[in-house]
Amino acid sequence: MEVPFSDKEYYAEHFDARDYLETYYTFSPEKEAENALATFTMKNLHKSFFGGGLKGDTLIDIGSGPTIYQFLSACEFFREIIASDYTDQNREEMQRWLKKEPGAFDWSPVVKYVCELEGDREKWAQKEEKVRSSIKQVLKCDVTQPNPLAPISLPPADCLLSTYCLELASKDLPAFRSALKNIGSLLKPGGHLVFASALELTFFMIGQRRFGCLYLEQKTLEEAVKGAGFDIEWVETTKFTIPLPLIDSTGACFVVARKH
């Protein structure tokens, strides 16, 4: 049965940030399948920043959700990070962790995993503090708008990061292409887009609630990135099997591209 697309109002009303974190970002041996997407992404983020030479003053993350894993490598190479998300509950959940509030989600297993990629698992506490000091703002964003951060207008960033956002926020392919152009407007010419998307995804679950998404194939995704004014520098894909009741994606695509 086809799952209807979940629009931004549906997310604002029904997305449970804490349930999402506990479902997809609780690292444990028995959750290896659920963690496959996160580990694939973190390995490629590490490759992008530590091996790819991406660095600068400002990085903007579009559609951060309630997560901080995407900043663990980037924080070593950018003076300031600006996080953003459409829903209040996601921004509030991130702020709980940034402010070390009681009951904030425990990211330490994920942070230790990334520190291990960097060669020193024991520096995880310093890494958490580096992320906290790097994130200067947590803003509302809407990728359907020409300026996704409106009414705020920021100087163009050196790097734009977006992981698993646009396929959730775009009702069809024209909307996806438009969203890529919208977020691209936040980036300097010559700046880099670091982008990850689930492939062939039509839904994912949080608790008993189902969220409908845009089905994307790799070729379509790459064409959209090029059409938004980017030259693709490298692409990495993976296939994985996550328990079908949770998510029906067949894999993921990670892209690093440079703006014309």
Q: Which two tokens stand for residue 73?
A: 């490598």
Which position has the token pair 């947590």?
A: 138
SS3 per residue for 75-132: HHCEEEEEEEECCHHHHHHHHHHHCCCCCCCCCHHHHHHHHHHCCCHHHHHHHHHHHH
- Is residue 61 within 8 A of residue 81, CB to CB? The reply is yes
User: For each of the chain's 260 residues, which pLDDT tens digit applies?
Assistant: 578 999 999 999 999 999 999 999 998 777 777 788 899 999 999 999 998 889 999 999 999 999 999 999 999 999 999 999 999 999 999 999 999 999 999 999 999 999 999 999 999 999 999 999 999 999 999 999 999 999 999 999 999 999 999 999 999 999 999 999 999 999 999 999 999 999 999 999 999 999 999 999 999 999 999 999 999 999 999 998 776 678 899 999 999 999 99
pTM score, two decimals? Answer: 0.96
Type of residue numbered 131: V
d(CA 114, CA 108): 10
Which CA distances in Å does 230 have to 9, 15, 77, 78, 135? 30, 32, 22, 21, 26
For residue 37, which of 77, 69, 74, 83 has the smallest C-alpha distance?
Answer: 69
d(CA 230, CA 164): 18
